[in-house]
Amino acid sequence: MKIFVNGIVQGVGFRPFVYRIAQDLGLKGLVRNVGGGVEIVLDAKNSEEFIHMMKLQVPDCARIDCIQISIYEGLEDFKGFEILESQENAFGLESKIPKDMAICKDCLKEMFDKKNRHYHYAFTTCTNCGPRYSIIASLPYDRKNTSMAPFKMCQECQREYDNPNDRRFGAQPNSCPKCAISIKFHRAEHIYENNPIKECIRAILNGEIVAIKGIGGFALVCDGRNSAAIKRLRDKKNRPKKPFALMVKNTQMALKFVDLNTQEIDALESKSAPIILGKAKKNNILSPYIAPSLHTFGVILPYSGIHHLLFESLDFPIVFTSANLSGEPIIASFIELKEKLGNVFESALDFEREIIHPIDDSVVAFLGKEMRVMRLGRSFAPLDLEIIANSHRENRIKTTLCIGLGAEQKSTLTYAINGKYLISPFIGDLNNPASMRRYEEIFEFFKEIYSLKPDILIHDLHPDYHSSVFSAKKSLEFRCRSISIQHHRAHFCAAFAEAMLQDSSIDPQSKMLGIIWDGTGLGDDGNIWGGEIFLGNLTGILRIGHFETLPLIGGEGAIKSIYKIGYGLALKYGLKALKDRFEQELDKQERVILKMMFEKNINTLHTSSVGRLFDGVASLCGLLDESSYEGEAGMLIESLVQNCVLKENEKKKYEFEIKNGIVRYDLMFLEMQQDILKGHIDKIAKKFINTLAQIAFALSENYPEYKVIFSGGVFQNRVLCDTIATLFEKKGKKFYMHKILPPNDGCISFGQAVYAQYNAL
C-alpha cells in the first residue's frame, strides 16, 4: 500500500515521526521525500490505524493537507521499516516550502547546559526549529539544496542526522562547535573572532549602534534606554519619528513596558516569534525616542541563538529595527551592509552561513477582538492557502496558473492554480530599485522551484506601477495574458476569499458588502479612490458608494505635506477660523498659490481616500504638518483615543450624511471646528473614530441582508477596528476582517489572483 502525504511535511521531522509510528505498530515498508511531499509504503493491507495515529500525533511544525492512498506496484521484500533518500520529482504548489522558526525550548536548554556539547553554540537547531525558507536554494529540502551545503558535519552531528530516533534526524541546518558556523564581530577595521558575542554585548552597553545578523537579515540594535544612541540611529537612518520595535529578554520584561492580553502573550511566545504591537505602559526606563508621541510600539522575543546569548548578559530592552535604507528591503549580506549602511552602524555581528532569501520579521496585532497579521514575514510566509474551486469553472481552474503581481507598496506575489494559493513574504515598495530587484528575484525563485509557466498575469489598474510594467514585460516573455483589476476591487476579493476561509457558509456566489478604506489607489474614473463601498461576490463587484472627495492641493505632494490637505478642507467646507489660522502660518506666496490652485482646480487631485481624511483631520487639529512615514496621522489619532474618555453628557460622534451612496461629512467638519477652537484634541480624535465606525454600520444597515467585509490599510487602526467590532457585535451584524493576511496592500496580490481564478478563465 502506498500513502502520499502533502502539506508542510519536509524539514519538520515528519519522516522520523512516520518511522516511529511504523515501529510502534510493527509495520514494514519505507518513507521518503518525493517532490514536495512524503511517500510512505507499507507492507500491510490495513493502514487505518497507521493513518489515524499519523493524523492524531502530527509534529508541531508539520501540517497534513492531503493524504492519497493507492496500491504499491513494487516487488520489494521489506525486512523492516526504512527511511530512504529523497526523490527529486517535479514540484507543484502542493509542495510546501518549510518556514523559518524560532529556536525551540529543547535546543535552548542544551545551549545553556554547560555539560552539553551545544553549550553557548549560537546555531543550535533541530527539526523543530531554526532557518528553513531563508536558506533554501531549491527543493527538496535537503542539506545539499541549502546554504548549509558548504558545511561538513562532524561525526557526532552526522550520527544525530542519521538516527531516526533523534530529534536532529534529517535536520538540514545541524551543526555544533566542532563543525561550527563561524561568527565575527566587526568594529571599524578590526575583526574579533574570539568571543564575538561578548564584544557585541560590550558594544551595546557602550551605547553603540550594532548591526546583528539574524535568521532573515541584519537588524540595527542599540540600548533601549539610551536616548543619545537612539537619536543618533534616527538621524543616521533618516527615520525621525516612525516607532521602533523593542526586543525583550522574555515575557516578564515585555509586560513591564506594554500591556498584553492572553492572546497577545500566546502570539509573542509562539514558535513564529513575531513582533507584537502593544499598548505602551508609562515607565521611566525607556527612551522617549522609541515611539515619539505614540502610545503603541512593537515588542519581540529573542528567536535565534545569537539573540538568546545576548540577553544572557543584557537585562534591558534593545531597539530592534531592520537594517535597510528607507523604503528598501532588509539587508542580508555584510558586503551590502557596509556599502549601504556603513555610516549608520558602528559595529556589526556577522556569521558565515548565507541568507539566500532575506525575510523581515512578521508583525501581528490584536485588533477587532482578534489577533491579525499586519506583515507577512518570517515564520508566516511563504503562506499557502486553499479555497475550494467554483464548480462550473473547476476544470479550467485546475489547469490555469494565475500570478497576482501585487501593488506598488507593501508588495507581495501570489501564485494560484486549482484553488491553491502561494503568497510570498512581504517585499516592500516597488518604486525603490532595490525592492524591485528583490521582487524579481522572488518571482524567479518560485518560477524555477515549481517550474511554473503562467497563463495569466494580473496587475493593478495603474499603468505606471512597477508591477504593471513588469506584467507587460513578462507577458511577452511567457506569451501569456496580462490583465488588470482595480486596486480596491482586489482588496474586496482578498477580504471575500479570506471570509470564505473563516466561514464555510460563504461561497464564491454569496453577495457581501465590502467596506474598503485605505490611502490610495487609481479608480475606474481616473481619480484616486480610498473610501469605497462595494456590493458583490467573486464574479461581480459593483461600486455602490464612496466617501465625498477631498482636495489634494498640489497633487500627490500633499500626501507628505498634509497641511495642504488641512487647508484644502478648510477652504472646501468654509471653516473660516481654521482657514484664517492656516493663512497666518503659511508663507504669503505659498498661500496665494495654494488658494489659486484650489479655486481654479489647477494641480489639485480629488480623492475619496479615508487615509487622506485622517491626514486632513490631523492637520486641522494641529497634530502634524508634514508626514514623515506612512500612516503617521492615523497612529497619532489612535494614541490620542486610547487615553480619552467622553463624559456621559458629551456627544459621542459627529454628524454625517449618506446620500445616494455618497458619505458626506460637511456637518462633521463644522462641528469639529468648534471642538478644535476649544482645544479638545483628544475628544476630537475619539469622536472622529466613533464617527467612522458609525458610518460603517450605517452603510451596513442600508443593505441589511448582506454580511460585511473590511479591507484596506485604514483597518490597521486598533481603536477603529475595536470600535467597529464592538458596535457590530452589539447590533448582531456579521462582519469579517483579515486575520491571516494583512489588511494593507500586502493582501493585494492574493486578491488579484483570486479575481483571475474566478473571472479570467
Task: Classify residue 670 by burial, with Cβ atoms within 10 Å: 0-12, 13-18, 19+.
Answer: middle
User: Which of 6, 15, 378, 390 does the annotation list as catalytic?
Assistant: 15
> Taking the CA atoms of the chain, what radius of gyration do you get in angstroms?
27
Residue 558 CB partners (closer than 8 Å, separation 6+): 552, 564, 565, 568, 605, 612
- Omega before 508 cis (within 30°)? no
Distance, in Å, from the CA atom of 364 to the CA atom of 380, rounded to the nearest integer, reads 10
Cβ atoms of residues 548 and 667 within 8 Å = no
Query: If you count them, how many residues does the chain have?
Result: 761
Torsion over CA: 516, 520, 523, 528 (sign): positive
Which three cell numbers mark 355?
541568507
Which three cell numbers mark 25?
505498530
Torsion over CA: 202, 257, 377, 520 (sign): negative
Question: Active-site residue 33, yes or no?
Answer: yes
Distance, in Å, from the CA atom of 609 to the CA atom of 618, rounded to the nearest integer, reads 14
DSSP string, 718-730: HHHHHHHHHHHHH
User: Which of 33, 128, 324, 432 does the annotation list as catalytic?
Assistant: 33
Question: Active-site residue 15, yes or no?
Answer: yes
Cβ atoms of residues 573 and 550 within 8 Å = no
Cβ atoms of residues 427 and 408 within 8 Å = no
Distance, in Å, from the CA atom of 159 to the CA atom of 644, rounded to the nearest integer, reads 62
Task: For the chain, report the end-to-end CA distance as a whole number of angstroms.
Answer: 38
Residue with grid cell 536554494, as numbered in its chain:
137
Task: Classify residue 45 by burial, with Cβ atoms within 10 Å: 0-12, 13-18, 19+.
Answer: exposed
Q: What residues act catalytically? A: 15, 33
